[in-house]
Amino acid sequence: MTDRAPTVDPGPAPGASPAGEEFIAPGHSLESVTDKISHLVLTRRTPRGWWIGFAISFLLAMLLVPSVGVLLAKGTGVWGLNVPVGWAFAIINFVWWIGIGHAGTLISAILLLLRQEWRTSINRFAEAMTLFAVTCAGLYPLLHMGRPWLFYWLLPYPNTMGTWPQFRSPLVWDVFAVTTYATVSALFWYVGLIPDFATLRDRAKSLPFKRVYGILALGWRGAARHWDRYETAYLLLAGLATPLVVSVHTVVSFDFAAGIVPGWHATIFPPYFVAGAIFAGFAMVLTLAIPLRQFYDLGDFITRRHLENMGKVLLATGLIVAYGYAMEFFFGWYSGSEYEHSMLSNRLSGPYRNYFFALMVCNVLAPQLLWIKRCRTHMGWLFLVAMFVNVGMWLERFVIVVVSLSRDFLPSSWDLYEPTKWDWGLYVGTIGLFLTLIFLFIRFLPVISIFEMRTLAPQSSEGNGDEADEAADREGGAS
């Protein structure tokens, strides 16, 4: 049967209780897990809240139409760019979206290799979040070119004009890093969905849905050979994705670290950016997981232990980011360079000082609440901290890019950057696009991995071992 559980049991996670109640509520059987998750896609009426949320998200996404149209018609001059600040919202938002896309691969790949079962309830929508965030990020480099139809100039293709890409430019490195990351993440996400597509195929009552899910399931029947090949492919993709978590944002940090602008030229940027990406990514996972848990009654599967673990990761990466801020100031002071000293003074007392202090409040002070266990397990406090981090990580990119460029080596070229309505329209439009894709994903695909949650069900059925065995026998019969 398609609902058969994997043949290889990863075993309980370190520290998990024998009943598994830290990762799934007690009393669930294999059948109840499958019913509850598939019910959200196949049989449940689309709730009114989903329609309202989708409509708002779609309207925000429609801001992309005039923003991109005006940009292509008139050029990047419609943005607030000037002579010193040649990079602004396009690069700020590109780095912000790439950072958000980090948590999905981290949760899915690294925690899978470390055999952490608490990833099971959150890995599916975290992987989807990664793909949608990378999609939004990919729009900015194309649009920032001014002539996006010539994007292939960045690719290593033979051409008669001899205009080969400049391979010493980190901007070209970004193309290879991000496209590789997006490709591996998409494969990892799709391979993980194949057993669930087969479950939806067998349970769907509508013929069009049966056919669509059947095509996506690639003929999955739940045979032992299928599980063996699936587990091999899934582990190989996890192994490929793991170094990408570190490499992608390291390469993105080279956009700045390879420059000579004060505030950019620092060796701490690669690890500092990677920690910041995980920090931002987990904040967005919490931003999505908490409303999803609340409105779809998924408290049985996304337990308070899941929220607490994510809160701990958020706290740990927040401390690393705070350490990075401290070291950035220390290196600037210890360098003895008057330009670095001027940059630090500009951040503290310059025209953008309010952005800097807001950044410190969001990314340094707010996460300290997570030392308190009640805040780590309380959905309201955790959601509030996650929202602070989302804003703070955007402000961090703004400070790094705009504050450093607005006052460089020559005072005669200093100028302030002010975003225009087209800057904001494009940014808000990508947020709308991201949320629209999230709502469509929630409606048509299982937001939690069915077959992976089933591996936890026998552990959670306290005293119901016979019932679980009978369910396994029923659902493990011949096709």
Give the total residue count for the chain. Answer: 479
12-63 tens-digit pLDDT = 443 343 333 467 777 777 788 888 888 888 876 788 889 999 999 999 999 9
Rounded Cα distance, 154 and 149, in Å: 11
Please state, in angstroms and rounded to a whole number, the distance separating the CA atoms of residues 436 and 53.
Answer: 8
Distances (CA, A) of 217 to 27, 32, 144, 196, 209: 30, 22, 38, 8, 12
Which residues are CB-contacts of 201 (< 8 A; sequence separation ≥ 6)? Answer: 2, 210, 213, 214, 217
Contact present, 392 and 356 (Cβ < 8 Å): no
Q: Can you say how many angstroms the Cα of residue 411 is from the centroid of all Cα atoms in its chain?
A: 39
Burial-class residue 358 by CB neighbours within 10 Å (0-12, 13-18, 19+).
Answer: middle
d(CA 266, CA 286): 31
Q: Which two tokens stand for residue 178?
A: 């991000």
Q: What pLDDT is recorded for position 469?
A: 42
Go through 364-403 and write b for each residue having 16 or more CB atoms within 10 A of its CB, e for each that does not: bebbebbeeeebbebbebbbebbbbbbbbbbbbbbbbbbb
pLDDT at 407: 86
Tell me the longest C-alpha to C-alpha distance in the chain: 80
CATH superfamily of 30-154+166-462: Formate dehydrogenase/DMSO reductase domain (1.20.1630.10)
Compute CA distances 210 → 204, 304, 424, 441, whole Å. Answer: 6, 35, 42, 17
Domain boundaries, the chain: 30-154+166-462
CA nearest neighbour of 127 among 9, 248, 245: 245
Contact of 446 with 102, CB cutoff 8 Å: no
pTM to 2 decimal places: 0.85
Gyration radius of the chain over CA positions: 24
Amino acid 420 reads T
Location of structure tokens 């799709």: 190
The structure tokens listed for 54 are 């989708």
Cα(363)–Cα(424) distance, rounded to whole angstroms?
Answer: 23
Tokens of residue 157, six digits: 């293709």
Sign of CA dihedral 465, 468, 474, 477: negative
The answer to whether residues 262 and 343 touch, using CB atoms and an 8 Å cutoff, is: yes
Tell me the pLDDT of the chain (479 aa) as tens digits. 444 444 444 444 433 433 334 677 777 777 888 888 888 888 767 888 899 999 999 999 999 999 999 998 888 889 988 888 888 899 999 999 998 988 788 888 888 888 887 888 888 888 899 999 999 998 998 888 877 887 777 776 666 666 666 777 888 888 888 888 889 989 999 998 999 899 899 888 888 888 999 999 998 888 899 999 988 998 898 888 888 888 888 999 998 888 888 888 888 899 989 999 889 989 999 999 899 888 888 888 888 888 888 899 999 999 999 999 999 889 888 888 888 888 889 899 989 999 999 999 999 999 999 999 888 888 899 999 999 999 999 999 999 999 989 888 888 888 889 999 999 999 999 999 999 999 999 988 988 888 888 877 765 444 444 444 444 434 433 33
